[in-house]
Chain A
Amino acid sequence: MASGGVPEATPAGPSPLRDWFASTTLHILGIALAAVSLGMLACALLEAATSRRDTLALGASALVAGAAGGLLWYLTRPSAIRKRDIFATVAWTWILTTVVGALPFMLAGTFAVPGAGFVEQVVNSVFESASGFSASGSTVLTDFESPGRGLMMYRQLTHWYGGMGVVVLAVAVLPFLGVGGLELITAEAPGTTSDRLTPRVSETARRLWMVYIGFTACATVAFFAADGFSSLYDAVAHAFTLAATGGFSVHADSIGHYDSVAVETVVIVFMVLGGTSFSLHWRAVTTGRVPYHRNSEFRSYLGVLAVASAVIVILVWLENGLPLGSAIRGAVFTVVSLGTSTGLSNATGSGSPGDYVTWVAGAQLVLLFLMVVGGCTGSTSGGIKVKRMQVLGLVMLRSVQHSQTPRAVIPIRLGRDTVSENVVSRVAGFFLLHFLLVIAGLLAVTALGGELETSLGSVVSALGNMGPALGEAGPTSNYAVAFSQPARLVLALLMIIGRLEILPILLAVVPYVYRAKDLTRVARR
């Protein structure tokens, strides 16, 4: 009641439907779908301006995704987040985004090759979408010429969304998630812990996206220049892949299409940077200093890439009989590509120097090892991550010391920091789960008809978000040739599991999670 007895005017309230349902999961999903729909819309415009073949498919998909996302966003409001909700939110957001993200491929008939039924088209679309959003780069696309530029750019864009993560994007636009927001980022982001760049979580998410956008812009300019300013479309498309360490290309023979040392050099540099922690990039940009050499993980990361390159150059040079120059060019590019989980290839054709499936077994085993290791924590790359491998190596060395002095208390140190026992235990658990998933995936894929060598490489590749694998799924081949439809779906699931670093998916589906009664509530700030 206002003074003077004048009745206070009732403000026009929002619609009764707005925020009527409290669910963080649906709210985040709504934002993610809305963001993806914007990408689809942009690509529809590009398509309309160029080939116009797939404009309708992209436009309709944008409409569906936008409507679904907008409705969810409008009708729901974020609520207090419990631990299980955090994992469920991340898992379901990714799974549903992947399914909705497959719509443009389905509607455009991208996989409607002769002999392919409806189910196969759906499976291929979902596989391509999962590969895109998880920044893997495995493909079932055989015809790179038919799809329009807009659709191909959308394919690249799925990488870009997935690289930094749709949930991080959602948190960036939600300023009030608080502690739960940090946990959401942690659940989605690759690594052992997430660096908090600022006190506010949403600000942290925003800065991560700013670095990401800046990185993409730099990669675009560099690629455009290295390619002789011939195609901005190619430059942007590959910049999306490089920032996300994805692996899709708009050409069937990937980077081998350019057959250019300059382009390959630029790609190598940006792949290495993409596999580096984005927190380090942020610090480098904001402080004006170069913090990389002080980071033990980064040093080890470069060391692994250098040693692997040297070993493979020697093996390929001596055993495969390649000229030294070709061996260096092929080996360094492939090592960096697989070591950063990018998956681009510089092979110019089957049997060319960059076609690593023709290399000796020792070289391929080194590549398999790189597929397992991946890049740095906090980067867009996949794999177990260098930091975790460092911790595991130190755990093994500690076992050596314990075998001599069983009662000694031996802390694990990385650089100047002591790694807490909680993190050590988490890393050991993660390694075990990764190992078990490789075995389970291998059993599933081989049971569905996969050839052993190809299946092994593909399962490791899918979990590490690499892209190309070994055997019939190599850099010059295709997953559609190598695997049956059910096997492709298993691999698609493994890609999502690998992108989310296993736990969110497991914790979202493990039944006892829902029965647990003593879950800790995360306070809403």
Chain B
Amino acid sequence: MGGLRRTRPLLPGSTERPPARVVSWALASIVDAGLVLGVATMLCGLAGIGDDNADAVAFTCVGAVLAALAAVARRRVAPPEQPGTGRVFAGIGFLWTALVLFGTVLYAGTGSLARLDDALVESAAGFTTTSLTLLDAAEVSRSVLLFRAATSWVGGLTAVWIGVVTLPVVLRSTALIGYTTGRRGLDLVPSASTGRRRVLILYSGFTAACVIAYLLTGLGVTEALVVGLGTVSTGGFTGRADSLAGYGGATQAVAGAGMFLAGAGIFVIWWIARGRLRPLWRSQELRTFVVLLVAATAAMALHRGIGWGEAGFMAVSAMSTTGFAVVDWTAWGTATTVILLVAAGIGSMMGSAGGGMRVMRVQLLMGSAGGELRRQLDPYAVVLVRRNDEALSQRTLDRLGGHQVAYVVLVGVGALLLGVSGVSLLGSVWGSVSAVTTFGPAVGEIGAFGLLDGVDRAERLALVPLMMGGRMSVPPVLAGVGLVMNWYKAAVRRGRFSVRLASRRLEALVESRSGDG
């Protein structure tokens, strides 16, 4: 972790030295997330007492240790006041990797999933809030079931923190089109620490409301918790092989409303909580989100004669990238599945736990394309692309274009990876889009309910980098590529590495081997 440094004594001339603090954005983020995850794991363990005590004890102990370590480390680690962009992105990459590795170790350690690769896939699906699973609720303990749901919840919270607080506030940059940088964001996130706290409170409150609503529809406590956590985080995990298909209409209605709010994002929840309706109406992104949902629903219902309820449910499930299903929608016909694919590709609103390109980005890209058409007619025209009455700079639009290209490349590479690992052509394309957008279910081998049982091991593993890349919204992936590029350049500059040197070493190795032979 290249960003580590120790702070100097705060008071010049003072004999009393403050405790040495490590200043690292990546470590501070990991510690914060670790604390939440530790507490969540401990609670999952405690909730499992009486069901499978071995699992319950293991989860409680691991959670307690993790929470304690994180609490201690929190006093020793501090984020830098003004971290560099590259370091923040690298930190985000480390953070997600650490979370996924923790989950992997826990699944494999408790024997919930016997194989390490299966544990990795399950953990990645959980933290990236992708509705894919290898677990069967009937075969695992309550602790494991709740932990799986909790991984989604923590993943969703981390995604919202990063999207709402870290990128816009810490980086003080509009580059990522996080609209917290606009006026509306300021009252939710006046500072990083307050923003983090408020987001945690809102997210937890929304979770509590969802769980209570599910309880009122007649679900048991564990079920309500699992489905509630899956709804709020857009994780889409229910623990059942048929997702929400077996539940009643009331439960499905609550899920639909919950997915809508989860996809609409933390700002909408904040405005509703504050009773402020004007920003709701004025939000261009929210209006577009609603219009797209209605259009997708109407198109599916009118084209194939699907019930409006089912069509609406699947539309909101795809756009919020939750992945819940009430029916096997892959049998609905090709046009309908394409509509859902496009909906998942567009994804949710900024500031939500959902994935996809995001409605705001798509809006801006459309504006940019319109501007380009205008410029074809008048090369000297000054065409402004606006976001909530703010004109965006050309540099921001360029980065947006770069992001779009990177997103498409990620989907393309993912499809290729899946195709090479043996998935059918359609399954590869759909699977890649679905994994990168963190939706989960897909036409082909994966199916409408996101079950990975019928998918080969190599194909499952190929999904892991896609889910991670999609969850990180590409920039950290790009930053990771940038770090590797810089490392390579530095190594070449220092003469430690070059293609020629590497080939010479390889030749020497081959010669020595042949000499040995």
Q: Does A286 contact B (CB under 8 A)?
A: no
Query: Chain A contact residues (Cβ within 8 angstroms of B): what range?
Result: 35 or more
Tell me the nearest residue of chain A to B380, going by C-beta: A520
Are B419 and A365 in contact, with the CB atoms below 8 A?
yes
| Chain A residues touching B, majority SS | helix
Contact of A520 with B378 at beta-carbon distance under 8 Å, contacts A361-B423, A452-B334 already known: yes
Is B339 an interface residue, CB under 8 A from the partner?
A: yes
Tell me if A362 counts as interface (CB < 8 A to partner B): yes
B420 contact set on A, CB distance < 8 A: 315, 360-362
The number of residues on chain B lying at the interface, defined by a beta carbon within 8 Å of a beta carbon of chain A, is: 65
CB distance from B435 to the nearest CB of A (A): 15
Question: Which residues on A sit within 8 Å (CB–CB) of B333?
Answer: 446
A362 pairs with B416, CB closer than 8 A: yes
- Please indicate the chain A residues that have their CB under 8 angstroms from the CB of B398 in the complex: 395, 398, 421, 424-425, 428
- Residues of B close to A361: CB separation below 8 A: 418-420, 422-425, 427-428
Give which listed residue, B339, B394, B416, B423, contacts A421 with CB less than 8 A.
Answer: B394
Contact call A432/B373, Cβ cutoff below 8 A: no
Contacts of A516 in B (CB 8 A): 374, 377-378
Q: Is the CB of A366 within 8 A of B173?
A: no
Can you list 19 A-B contacts (CB < 8 A)? A83-B376, A360-B419, A361-B418, A361-B419, A361-B424, A398-B398, A399-B402, A399-B475, A400-B485, A421-B394, A424-B398, A428-B372, A433-B369, A446-B333, A446-B334, A503-B373, A507-B373, A519-B377, A520-B378
A299 is an interface residue with CB less than 8 A from chain B: no
**Cβ contact within 8 Å between A400 and B481:** yes
B376 x A507 contact (CB < 8 A): yes
- When A83-B377, A362-B416, A432-B369 are in contact, do A439 and B175 touch as well, CB less than 8 Å? no
Interface positions of A from 501 to 523, Cβ below 8 Å from B: 503, 506-507, 510, 513, 516, 518-520
Cβ contact within 8 Å between B403 and A399: yes
Looking at the complex, which one of A400, A432, A456, A513 makes contact with B365 (CB distance below 8 Å)? Answer: A432
Judge if B205 is at the interface, Cβ distance under 8 Å.
Answer: no
Instruction: Type the 1/0 row for A473-503, where 1 means its CB is closer than 8 Å to any CB of B.
Output: 0000000000000000000000000000001
A436: chain B residues within 8 A (beta carbon) = 366, 369
Instruction: Contact check, A396 vs B479: say whether CB atoms are below 8 A apart.
Output: no
Q: Return chain A residues, CB-CB under 8 Å to B428.
A: 361-362, 365
Across-interface contacts of A323 in B (CB, < 8 A)? none
Please determine whether A365 and B378 come into contact, CB atoms closer than 8 angstroms.
no
Per-residue contact bits, chain A 399-434, to B (CB 8 Å; 1 contact, 0 not): 111111110000000000000011011101111110
- Is there an interface contact between A443 and B376, defined as CB atoms closer than 8 Å? no
A442: Cβ under 8 A from any B Cβ: yes
Known: A436-B369, A516-B377, A520-B377. 9 other contacts (CB 8 A): A366-B416, A399-B402, A399-B403, A404-B86, A428-B401, A446-B334, A470-B425, A507-B373, A507-B376
List A contacts of B401 (CB < 8 A): 395, 425, 428, 431-432
Complex interface: chain B residues within 8 A of A451 (CB): 334
Pairwise interchain contact A399-B399, C-beta atoms closer than 8 A: yes
What is the bound-complex CA distance between A463 and B91, given in angstroms?
41
| A31 shortest CB reach to chain B, Å | 24
Separation of A30 and B211 alpha carbons in the complex (Å): 71
Do B85 and A456 have beta carbons less than 8 Å apart? no
When distances are taken between beta carbons in the complex, the residues of chain B under 8 Å from A442 are 338
A144 in the interface, Cβ–Cβ < 8 Å?
no
Which of chain B's residues has its CB closest to A433's CB? Answer: B369
B375-405: CB near A (< 8 Å → 1, else 0) gives: 1111111000000000000100111011111
Shortest distance in angstroms between B163's beta carbon and chain A's nearest beta carbon? 16
B335 at the A/B interface (Cβ < 8 Å)?
yes
**In the complex, A467 has a CB within 8 A of chain B:** no
**Cβ 8 A contact of B425, one of A369, A404, A453, A455:** A453
Judge whether A265 is part of the interface by a CB distance below 8 angstroms: no
Residues of A near B85 (CB, < 8 A) are 403-406
Verify A507–B377 contact, CB threshold 8 A. yes
Chain A 288-319 per-residue mask, 1 if CB under 8 angstroms from chain B, else 0 = 00000000000000000000000000010000
Bound Cα distance A409, B235 (Å): 39
Is B482 in contact with A425, judged by CB distance below 8 angstroms?
Answer: no
Asked if A396 and B334 sit within 8 Å, CB to CB, the answer is no
Chain A residues with CB under 8 Å of B369's CB are 429, 432-433, 436
Contacts of A452 in B (CB 8 A): 334, 337-338, 426, 443
Q: Give the chain B neighbours of A404 by CB distance below 8 A.
A: 84-86, 89, 479, 482-483, 486
Contact in complex: A399, B478 (CB < 8 Å): yes
The 4 closest A-B pairs by CB, nearest first: A429-B372, A399-B402, A404-B86, A362-B419
Confirm or deny: A447 has a beta carbon within 8 angstroms of a beta carbon on chain B.
yes
> In the bound complex, what is the Cα–Cα distance between A399 and B422 (angstroms)?
32
